[in-house]
Structure 1
C-alpha cells in the first residue's frame, strides 16, 4: 500500500528528528583530564598504568555557578566501566546544566607493580575528587555548596563510603584542597554494593577492596548501611529486583538506615533489568529512573526547573 505524499513527508521528518536526537545524545561534551594528586599520591611512588588516578572534568556552560557531581564508575573494585557508567553520565549531567568529574580511583586491578590497591586508596581518591571540585569552585564555575557524588555497583559502594566517611577540612594545610570538607551535598546510588560481610554481599567487590580475610572491625566500618548518620547527605537509590549480581537488599537496608536517621531519601525499585543498567535506555520500567532522578535533583535545587 502506497502512503499519501503528506504521510510520506511526515514519516521522513519523524525519522530525521529521531536520528538527529540520537546523534545529539551520543555526542560527548568537551572534557579535560588531569591527575587527581598533582603533587604526589600519599604512599605511592609508582607512575605506571593504574598508579595515577585522574579526574576527567566536563564543565557546564553557564553564566552563573552550577551544581557538580563526581562520577564513580563500577567494576567490582577491579576495573572501571568508563562507558555506560562514566562518559554517558558526564554527557547526561551536562545536558542538565551540571558540571561533572569522572574519578578513575585506584583499585585492585592495574598498578602497584601488579598488586593493585585496596582500602583506603579508593576512598582517599573519591574524597579527594570532591574536595578538588570544592576547592576549585571559582575556577570551575561551580557552587561549592552543590557538589554531589554518583556511583554504580562497586562504585556505588565507594559513593556510599564517602557519603558516610568524611575527610574534614584542615584549614592549616598547605594543600588548598585539604582545606575544604569532602562531605558531598547529595548522593546517588545505582544498583550499589552497600553491605559487606552479609549473605547478599557482592563477594568479588569485597575481596578486591579488603582482601580474603579482612579484620572484622574493618569489614564492619565499610558495611555502609550501618554507617549512615544524620550527616549523610540527601540520597537517591535505584535498583531492580532481577539484579542477581548485587541483590536489591543492599539498597533496601541503606534506605531504611536513611529513614531511621532522618536523612532525606528517595528510592525507586523496578522489577525488570539485570545488573549494570546504566541509563537503562532499553529496559521498560527501569528506563524511567533518569527522569525521576532529574526531578529529584531539581527539587534539591541542583538543576534548574
Structure 2
C-alpha cells in the first residue's frame, strides 16, 4: 500500500506541476512586424482562440528534466488556434517523460506571411536563452505543429534565419505543407499568402521545395482519410526529406480524418503516442 500511495502521490504532484505553466510574452519590447489586426483576443468554442494580439509561450516544466524541449504550434487554418487538444492538453503527457513542453500562441498572418514565422523564431530563441535555467540542453529543442501549425513548424524547420532559431527536430501532425492549389488547404493558403500570390511566394511556402540537407530530422503522422488536408502534403515532404538524406519517419493511420490532436476518440491514439514516445527516446539523434 505504501508503494501504491507513493506512486499515486508522485503522479498527482507531477500533474499539478505540469498544469502550472510559466507564461512569457514573445515581444515585451514591441513587435518587429504587424499583421494589421487590433482589438482584443477572442475566446471561441472548443478551447480555440482568435485575434491573438499579444503572442506568448506557456512553458510546462517537468519535475525532472531529460534535457529535451518541444515547442507546439496549434492548428487552426492560420485563422485561429486550437489551444486545447492541439496545445495545452498534451502538457502532462510530455512532462511525465521529462520533456519541457512549450505551447506557442502565435499571431495570425492576415495576409502578412512573415508574422507567424517571426513568432516561432522568437519562441525558440527564448527557450534557448532560458536553457540553463530550465535544465534544457540547447541542442535538444524541437518544433511541433498540427495542421496549419504543422506548416508553421515545418516553416521554422526549413526557413529558419540562423542557427539560433534552427530546431533540432520536428514533429508534424497531419500538416499543411504545400501552398500549391489542389494540394494545399485552401483556407490556410489564402490566410497566409493571399488569394493571388506570386509564383515566388507560393514556392517559398511550399515547404517540400525548401528541404535541404540541413533540415532537421522529422516525425510525421496523419490519417489516410484526411479530407481537409490531403495526405499528399505529408507524403511530398517525406519524400523531399529522404531525397536530401534527412532522417524521417512517417505514420499513416487508415482512419481518423483531420484534427484529432490529443483527443481520446481518435482510434489510433495509443499507437501514435507510443510511437512518438519511442522515437523521442530512441529515434532522435543530436549533434552536440
Determine the structure 2 residue equivalent to 1:81. Answer: 82
TM, length-normalised to structure 1: 0.80
Determine the structure 1 residue equivalent to 2:108. Answer: 107
Measure, in 1, the Cα distance between the counterparts of 2:260 and 2:39.
Answer: 33
Determine the structure 2 residue equivalent to 1:95. Answer: 96
| Residue 54 (structure 2) aligned to one of 49, 52, 59 | 52
1:224 partnered with 2:207:
yes
Measure, in 2, the Cα distance between the counterparts of 1:57 and 1:269.
Answer: 30
Q: Is contact 1:279–1:287 with CA below 8 Å preserved after alignment?
A: no
Q: Is contact 2:177–2:208 with CA below 8 Å preserved after alignment?
A: yes
1:269 partnered with 2:270:
no
Determine the structure 2 residue equivalent to 1:71. Answer: 72
1:208 partnered with 2:191:
yes
Determine the structure 2 residue equivalent to 1:133. Answer: 127
- The number of aligned residues is 263
Measure, in 2, the Cα distance between the counterparts of 1:288 and 1:65.
Answer: 23
Determine the structure 1 residue equivalent to 2:160. Answer: 166
Matched residue SS, 1:70: strand
Q: Deviations over 1:232-291 (max 9, x none)?
A: 111000011111000111111111001100000000001110100113532333541111
Q: Is contact 2:226–2:258 with CA below 8 Å preserved after alignment?
A: yes
Q: Is contact 2:111–2:194 with CA below 8 Å preserved after alignment?
A: no
Q: Is contact 1:255–1:265 with CA below 8 Å preserved after alignment?
A: yes
Q: Is contact 1:60–1:66 with CA below 8 Å preserved after alignment?
A: no
Q: Is contact 1:197–1:223 with CA below 8 Å preserved after alignment?
A: yes
1:61 partnered with 2:63:
yes
Matched residue SS, 1:292: helix
Determine the structure 1 residue equivalent to 2:142. Answer: 148
Measure, in 2, the Cα distance between the counterparts of 1:134 and 1:96.
Answer: 20
Matched residue SS, 1:139: coil
1:250 partnered with 2:233:
yes
Q: Which runs of 4+ in 1 moved over 6 A?
A: 22-27
Measure, in 1, the Cα distance between the counterparts of 2:217 and 2:182.
Answer: 27
Q: Deviations over 1:133-175 (max 9, x none)?
A: 1122112221101000110000000011000011215xxxxxx
Describe the shift of the 1:65–1:292 C-alpha distance in structure 2 as closer, same or farther (beyond 3 A): closer
Q: Is contact 2:111–2:193 with CA below 8 Å preserved after alignment?
A: no
Matched residue SS, 1:61: coil
Describe the shift of the 1:283–1:103 C-alpha distance in structure 2 as closer, same or farther (beyond 3 A): closer
| Residue 169 (structure 2) aligned to one of 167, 176, 186 | 186
Describe the shift of the 1:199–1:25 C-alpha distance in structure 2 as closer, same or farther (beyond 3 A): farther
Matched residue SS, 2:274: helix
Determine the structure 1 residue equivalent to 2:116. Answer: 122
Q: Is contact 2:171–2:218 with CA below 8 Å preserved after alignment?
A: yes
Structure 1 unaligned runs (5+)?
Answer: 1-19, 109-115, 170-180
Describe the shift of the 1:43–1:252 C-alpha distance in structure 2 as closer, same or farther (beyond 3 A): closer
| Residue 37 (structure 1) aligned to one of 27, 39, 52 | 27
Measure, in 1, the Cα distance between the counterparts of 2:193 and 2:151.
Answer: 13
